[in-house]
Amino acid sequence: MEVKNKHVVIKHHVEDAPKECDFEIKISDFALSVDPGSDDIIVKNLCISVDPYQISRMKRHSSSHGTITAVEPITPGQAINGPAIGKVVASGHAKFHKDDVVWGIFNWAEYSLVKERNIIKKIESFEFPLSYHLGVLGFNGLTAYAGFFELCKPLKGEKIFVSAASGATGNIVGQYAKLLGCYVVGCAGSQKKVTLLKEKLGFDDAFNYKEEKDLNLTLKSYFPDGIDVYFDNVGGEMLDAAIANMKAFGRVSICGVISEYIDTGKRCSPNMLDVVYKRINIRGFLAPDFMNVFEEFYEKTSDYLRTGKLKVIEDASTSMESIPSAFVGLFKGDNIGKKIINLA
Amino acid sequence: MEVKNKHVVIKHHVEDAPKECDFEIKISDFALSVDPGSDDIIVKNLCISVDPYQISRMKRHSSSHGTITAVEPITPGQAINGPAIGKVVASGHAKFHKDDVVWGIFNWAEYSLVKERNIIKKIESFEFPLSYHLGVLGFNGLTAYAGFFELCKPLKGEKIFVSAASGATGNIVGQYAKLLGCYVVGCAGSQKKVTLLKEKLGFDDAFNYKEEKDLNLTLKSYFPDGIDVYFDNVGGEMLDAAIANMKAFGRVSICGVISEYIDTGKRCSPNMLDVVYKRINIRGFLAPDFMNVFEEFYEKTSDYLRTGKLKVIEDASTSMESIPSAFVGLFKGDNIGKKIINLA
């Protein structure tokens, strides 16, 4: 049986802020059958994750190229892939069967032909909405968990600063920090997001960085005794200001650099004398390196969700056609929380 | 008994590159006796360490102020202190006796009145020249040892880059790295230093950064497969170029920032996307935090010295009057290896 399969491609490399016209929805014929005994698996997407890191893959040159499989370059005209939840439609692989629900790296498409290596996990429990497996129970949650607990080794009572705090990862970091008993301040790009952080997510405080003239003084006012842990997703001037306000033995985890994604000429320029004298530890990291703590993260986080201790913030669209605007919106701060495309 | 005691002071805060005229040699009357039963100890300096970090203490504002006792601000007109080796001339403290040789934080002076807390260690073995206890067996060695082994956890065969490689600390890092079986490239500021690194200290390669137009390309040529460990003492453009050339999971230890010491407006501006995608770990550190590994460092390093595996590079002057020019020279690259004032 053959179907028409919609999928999203870039028309050309994307060098600056992405625009909807950089993308194209293509339709191709797609066979829904596999040869018995082959390793082929056909997955129908139920839910697609839209993440800022994809911009690095869309560039002609990028620090991401050649690092890990999950961020290999995207070729114009070719299907884009990324984290998604799908249902197995047909399988030649003995481990996967029709109607299995799987989390993996699938195309930004209705249907994907994949191999076992594309599948991260079979979803066995349907206790939570499927989309959670892409966010709070997926790579965003793992990024927050690993970057905060594994790398920063925070202690109860420590002072935590989170940038992009209403974003898919930042909001979870802030909530983990509160659950640990830390003092948490987040920054975001609108008053609405600031209100969400303080009123719904329980941040001790939050501010709209767009309204601040001197980030160094802003952070000094929120952290008069200094910052112990900075969870950074933005780089640039915010990173400089955070380093200027770190305490001795402060730790900085960096999982993304929004300021550089769409303008690689825009750099941070931290005072390295602060880094030396305050013995600051700055670490870049990627969640896939922490699959060794996945089960621990998943169990603890599931429990927080069950008991209502962790709130989930999602921003969902519902069609293949909405993917380009959803992606472009990430760089304009349109989304609040995890950006999801629900196709189910 | 009273003597005339020469000591060095700054006339005013030093904000840019230090000049000899920023300093003054003062002479004051100094009593060589202590009250029996007091905690006072009088030390006559035999050897004084002259270190670049002191510039931070001489500034009106500095990242170093308020961090650790050893780098507290220096007040104009007041005696400057720093690592030195002295002989006890008189002691009211039961643990110290006349003619004891001690390593500690004493004044840039002929005589200092000190307390027990100023003394780091009594020198019991005279197997090595006294000056070694200020360099290779003192804080420079400990900085090299802790920053390289403890923080970077290098493996045999890894590729190591050392800046300020002929300096007091860098030369030891490079030699430790060679003893571990690493590939080591150093940079320095003159052809004479480059020759020393390659011919006397056994570096695999070395270059004069002043003759390089594009440090990024320079490092790419010396490390076509990337750098595993960068031991940084200079910051600025060299740090940016090193980060651009790091391998995945590369480690950067930063013990000093020569580029910022005399021009705080001069900053590095590394590509943080490299830091994220290559999961780079950047750590500022100070040797005094690693006194827990001092004995281990001291034993291993003594053994390397005994067996001739580690070479010692010192640059000695011999009078109190030479301290200002020795210190000023550190920022002009005048010294090769550890800068010492031998007064014995």
> Which CATH architecture does the domain made up of A139-288 adopt?
3-Layer(aba) Sandwich (3.40)
Q: For the packed helices B215-222 and B236-244, what is the interaxial angle rounded to 10 degrees? A: 50
- Selected for mutation to probe chain B from A64, A71, A262, A273 (highest B CB count within 10 Å) is A273
Distance between CA atoms of residues B74 and B295, nearest Å: 30
Nearest CA in chain B to A246: B63
- Selected for mutation to probe chain A from B276, B278, B291 (highest A CB count within 10 Å) is B276
Residue length of chain A = 344
Question: Is the pLDDT at B71 greater than 90, yes or no?
Answer: no
Distance between CA atoms of residues A1 and A21, nearest Å: 33
Which H, E and C letters describe A259-288, residue by residue? HHHCCCCCCCCCCHHHHHHCCCEEEECCHH
Contact A156, A228 (CB under 8 A): no
The pLDDT mean for chain A works out to: 95
Domain ranges of chain A: 2-135+313-342, 139-288
Chain A interface includes B69 (CB < 8 A): no
**Which candidate from B67, B267, B273 shows the least CB-CB separation from A278?**
B67
Q: Where are the alpha helices (DSSP H) in chain B?
A: 54-58, 139-145, 152, 170-180, 191-195, 215-222, 236-244, 258-261, 272-277, 294-306, 323-330
Cβ separation A268–B264 shorter than 8 A: no
Contact B160, B185 (CB under 8 A): yes
Distance between CA atoms of residues A227 and A215, nearest Å: 14
Tokens of B105: 């934080």
Q: How many CB atoms lie within 10 A of CB A38?
A: 11
Distance between CA atoms of residues A249 and A232, nearest Å: 16
Question: Which letter, b or e, does each residue of A9-27 get, where b requires 16 or more Cβ atoms within 10 Å of its Cβ?
Answer: bbeebbbeebeeebbeeee
Question: Is the pLDDT at B130 greater than 90, yes or no?
Answer: yes
**Which candidate from A56, A269, A280 shows the least CB-CB separation from B273?**
A56
Q: What angle do CA B321, B324, B330 make, to 5 degrees?
A: 135
What's the pLDDT score for residue A266?
A: 83
Q: Which residues of B touch A62 (CB under 8 A)?
A: 273, 277
Q: How confident is the model at residue A344 (pLDDT cuts 50, 70, 90)?
A: confident
Cβ separation B279–A268 shorter than 8 A: no
Q: How many CB atoms lie within 10 A of CB A314?
A: 18
Map tokens 């490399």 to a residue.
A13
Tens digits of residue pLDDT in A2-58: 999 999 999 999 988 999 999 999 999 999 999 888 999 999 999 999 999 999 999
Tens digits of residue pLDDT in B223-261: 999 999 999 999 999 999 999 999 999 999 999 988 888
CA proximity to A12, closest of A71, A75, A91, A97: A75
Cβ separation B279–A277 shorter than 8 A: no
Amino acid type, A284: G
Helix (H, G, I), strand (E, B) or coil at B111: strand
Closest approach of B197 to chain A, Cα-based (Å): 26
**Which candidate from B64, B248, B274 shows the least CB-CB separation from A277?**
B64
Q: Which residues of A touch B281 (CB under 8 A)?
A: 281-284
Chain B interface includes A216 (CB < 8 A): no
Distance between CA atoms of residues A240 and A243, nearest Å: 5
Q: Which residues of B touch A282 (CB under 8 A)?
A: 275, 281-283
Nearest CA in chain A to B289: A279
Cβ separation B277–A67 shorter than 8 A: yes
**Which candidate from A267, A273, A283 shows the least CB-CB separation from B260?**
A273
Nearest CA in chain A to B63: A274
Nearest CA in chain A to B262: A273
Fold of B2-135+313-342: Quinone Oxidoreductase; Chain A, domain 1 (3.90.180)
Integer CA distances (angstroms), B128 to A274, B125, B306, in order: 35, 8, 9
Cβ separation B268–A273 shorter than 8 A: no
Q: What is the mean pLDDT of residues B7-18?
A: 94
Question: Which letter, b or e, does each residue of A138-175 get, where b requires 16 or more Cβ atoms within 10 Å of its Cβ?
Answer: bbbbbbbbbbbbbbbebeeebbbbbbbbbbbbbbbbbb
Nearest CA in chain A to B237: A269
Q: How confident is the model at residue B69 (pLDDT cuts 50, 70, 90)?
A: confident
Nearest CA in chain A to B261: A273
Q: How many CB pairs under 8 A join A and B?
A: 124
Q: Which residues of B touch A153 (CB under 8 A)?
A: none
Tens digits of residue pLDDT in B161-181: 999 999 999 999 999 999 999
Chain B interface includes A63 (CB < 8 A): yes
Residues 275-314 on B with a CB inside 8 Å of A are 275-286, 289
Complete edge-to-edge strand list for the sheet that includes strand A246-254: A205-208, A183-188, A159-162, A227-232, A246-254, A281-284, B281-284, B246-254, B227-232, B159-162, B183-188, B205-208
Tens digits of residue pLDDT in A57-110: 999 988 888 888 778 899 999 999 999 999 999 999 999 999 999 999 999 999
Nearest CA in chain A to B260: A273
Q: What angle do CA A106, A107, A113 make, to 5 degrees?
A: 70
Tens digits of residue pLDDT in B182-194: 999 999 999 999 9
Distance between CA atoms of residues B227 and B249, nearest Å: 10
Radius of gyration of chain A (CA): 20
